[in-house]
Chain A
Amino acid sequence: MDTRNDAPDGDLLLDIQDLKTWFYTREGVVKAVDGVSLRLRRGEILGLVGESGSGKSVTGFSIMGLVGERGKVRAGRMMFDGHDLLKISAEQMRRLRGDRLAMIFQDPMMTLNPTLRIDTQMIEAVRAHGKVSRRAARERSLDVLRMVGIPAPEARLKVYPHHLSGGMRQRIAIAIALLNAPRLIIADEPTTALDVTIQGQILYEVQKLCREMGTALIWITHDLALVSGLADRMAVMYAGRIVESAPTDILVEHPHHPYTHGLMASIPSLGTRGQPLFQIPGSTPSLLHLPAGCAFRSRCYRADAQCGHEPELRRTGPGHMASCWHGGEPS
């Protein structure tokens, strides 16, 4: 169930197999992530696409070790840069987080402390992971602020988060993620709350940084169009599983899973003017009571009796995996 089989092992940064994050609630077990396998090479950009409730954010949280106490993370394997994330202690994980492994959230105020000045927060983040003088930490902070394209970084260091606009806050959150030159950044819908022009600026900076610093990136989003311009590879999630993954160009040109077709066809554009938009009927199923078999069955136009059995994620081409009994390009 690898999403990519042809990656040489030495190049692998992240290797996750059969990740299951289940939440034990009063109503029952919510299988938010149910058997996700991901492999990421150094410097690779992966777009993790799905609608709300598909488990894409929980996948990110599971890698970061940020799942709350009601959730239980299990996996066949979870290796990151030579560390076994399943075995390491909480203290070791804390040292990894913010150092080799960083996360950017949708709401930058999840990263920023509203009561502390930006410089306090940034210097603290540098010094938490290495013996550095305050002055050196400050220099480092200025460097990354410049890197993410913040004008007048010296002045920005002295202000509180509420002085800044949403786009500027998100840039500072990205700068904090970059402080210790991480190997992997997990970005969870970081531009969803921002204006298009600001979104463009942030995508520009992120693309530049990944290219220059060789940082791997998992970009979690619901916007297939947005991430198609950024990612090397894309994985589409539905109801806690990856239903299709492929290099971006192959996924966009030859989608295999009906859900992926549906997502692409329902993007409104100038080309769809005057016609009704393709729509996937129904809505995402509740993860509490998932029916047996293919989770997409009830919304799928190709579904038949065979879909009562769960389809396996299998290889359909070079680097291309899909889980559908009736896979194939749109008819």
Chain B
Amino acid sequence: MSGDRTMAASGPAQGATVSARGTPILRMEGLRRDYAQPSDFIDRIGRRLRGRGEPPPLRAVAGVDLDVMHGEVLAVVGESGCGKTTLGRMLTGIIPPTAGRVLYRGRDVTHLRGADRRAYELAVQMIFQDPFSSLNPRMRVRDIIGEAPVVHGLVGRAERDDYVCGLLRKVGLDPDYRERYPHQFSGGQRQRIGVARALALKPDIIVCDEAVAALDVSIQAQVLNLFMSLRRDFDLTYVFISHNLGVVSHISDRVAIMYLGRVVELAPTERVFSAATHPYTQALLKELPVLSAGKRRFDPIVGELPSPADPPAGCTFHPRCPRVMARCRVEAPVLRQVAGGHFSACHLNDETGAARGPGTEVAVTAHSTEPVQNATETS
């Protein structure tokens, strides 16, 4: 089949070379984010009378340690409510973490001030899910893309028009469109405008939050190809947040599977798809729709994602887990290495005896943050 195959071979081999290629450009250490639960007046009075305090906070992200290596595509996968979007927003600095740190090129971003802080904010850009609500409907494309680089002094006011035209060409849009408003574009075109806006600030890292989820299949393929060619041209690192394992298997080098605010499995993409050890990952893989000539017997895992406001004790996945053991109800498993670059948080890893190294005690605390800091360093 013919097609726009302009891109050089890049991809599978990178999974293996990631650790050799770089240092972590972005590091998350014990990252946590709580949200206060709204309570109404009556509820507050009731709590006061019964001598109870504030309702417990909703822990959207409950201690994540992850490294994003320079030049890789790290996918963060999970169901809605697992905290993946909150994680992405903390990476970009849109919301501050409740606890833990984000390190950009080895420096804690919460303590960055002035020009350093600005440099970090510009270097980490975001592309949003909804191409309809993420563009200001009252601004022309020229301003949507060109405003920020002028404000930040990346380009002069005089060169702005050329700069915008160049970016539009880069993302596959006609530069003549720069005088138009967002409503004059289709969903796929708007997403390209969103990509151009992110690129305009010459970022190192782009956080894509479900960036292709709202697009049609044929348009999704175009945008995914665009991401990959931009990665090569601009030496970009992606944090690719998605619920779609099909898209993730195509684009990413490493995959982190999240469940209820925690990373439960982290491994190079091939390994996730061939040797996942966590039952949740296995269940997600089984649900992945595959083009097939024969009928499928759907055999889903039961239940729904529990509320993060009231997470189950022990392993948070235990109420839905097909292989639940007594131990899972009381002890929370810790994310630890089961093979080179492959991390998993499940008690089953002990049962099979796989890679039980010394000093990998299981923590009983619900929010342990200290083990497994540097996912790829040890690989």
* A interface, CB within 8 angstroms of B: 51-52, 165, 167-168, 195-201, 203-204, 207, 222-226, 228-230, 248-249, 252-253, 261-270, 272-281, 283-284, 301, 330-331
* A-B interface contact total, Cβ < 8 Å: 162
**Which B residues lie within 8 Å of A228 (CB)?**
289-293
B225 touches A248 (CB 8 A): no
B20 within 8 A of A: no
B298 touches A222 (CB 8 A): no
* B interface, CB within 8 angstroms of A: 1-7, 9-13, 79-80, 186-189, 216-222, 224-225, 228-229, 243-247, 249-251, 269-270, 273, 283-284, 286-302, 304-305
Least distance between A277 CB and chain B CB atoms (Å)? 4
| 8 cross-chain pairs, A with B, having the tightest CB-CB distances, nearest first | A274-B11, A229-B296, A200-B300, A268-B250, A266-B221, A204-B298, A249-B293, A226-B289
B290 touches A268 (CB 8 A): no
14 contacts between A and B (CB under 8 A): A196-B243, A196-B245, A197-B79, A197-B283, A201-B300, A226-B289, A228-B293, A229-B289, A229-B296, A253-B293, A261-B1, A270-B273, A276-B3, A283-B219
Q: Contacts A276-B6, A276-B225: A197 and B284 contacting too (C-beta < 8 A)?
A: yes
Q: Which residue of B lies closest to A196 (CB)?
A: B287
B292 touches A272 (CB 8 A): no
Partner of A277, one of B12, B221, B284: B221
Bound state CA distance, A55 and B288, in angstroms? 26
**Which A residues lie within 8 Å of B216 (CB)?**
51-52, 222, 284
Least distance between B294 CB and chain A CB atoms (Å)? 7
**Which A residues lie within 8 Å of B249 (CB)?**
268-270, 273
A278 touches B246 (CB 8 A): no
B222 touches A279 (CB 8 A): yes
A229 touches B298 (CB 8 A): yes
B1 touches A196 (CB 8 A): no
B3 touches A278 (CB 8 A): yes
Bound state CA distance, A142 and B124, in angstroms? 52
Bound state CA distance, A287 and B93, in angstroms? 43
Partner of A223, one of B283, B289, B292, B304: B289
A276 touches B293 (CB 8 A): no
Bound state CA distance, A330 and B298, in angstroms? 30
**Which B residues lie within 8 Å of A270 (CB)?**
249-250, 269-270, 273
Partner of A269, one of B10, B246, B293: B246
Q: Contacts A197-B300, A249-B294, A279-B222: A267 and B246 contacting too (C-beta < 8 A)?
A: yes
Least distance between B225 CB and chain A CB atoms (Å)? 5
Most buried by B among A197, A222, A223, A301: A197
Q: What's the dominant secondary structure at chain B's contact region?
A: loop
Least distance between B104 CB and chain A CB atoms (Å)? 28
B12 touches A274 (CB 8 A): yes
Given contacts A229-B292, A268-B220, 17 further A-B pairs with CB under 8 A are A195-B80, A195-B243, A197-B287, A200-B299, A228-B291, A248-B295, A262-B218, A266-B217, A267-B217, A268-B221, A268-B247, A269-B246, A273-B249, A274-B9, A274-B11, A279-B225, A280-B218
A278 touches B189 (CB 8 A): no
Partner of A168, one of B2, B6, B304: B304
**Which B residues lie within 8 Å of A207 (CB)?**
297-298
A281 touches B293 (CB 8 A): no
B1 touches A330 (CB 8 A): yes
B11 touches A275 (CB 8 A): yes
Q: Which residue of A lies closest to B212 (CB)?
A: A268
**Which A residues lie within 8 Å of B284 (CB)?**
196-197
B218 touches A263 (CB 8 A): yes
Q: Which residue of B lies closest to A229 (CB)?
A: B296
B221 touches A278 (CB 8 A): yes
**Which A residues lie within 8 Å of B189 (CB)?**
283
A252 touches B304 (CB 8 A): no
Most buried by B among A195, A253, A272: A195
B11 touches A267 (CB 8 A): no
**Which A residues lie within 8 Å of B13 (CB)?**
274
Q: Which residue of B lies closest to A167 (CB)?
A: B304
Bound state CA distance, A195 and B13, in angstroms? 31
Least distance between A7 CB and chain B CB atoms (Å)? 19
Bound state CA distance, A230 and B4, in angstroms? 32
B246 touches A268 (CB 8 A): yes
B299 touches A204 (CB 8 A): yes
Q: Which residue of B lies closest to A265 (CB)?
A: B1
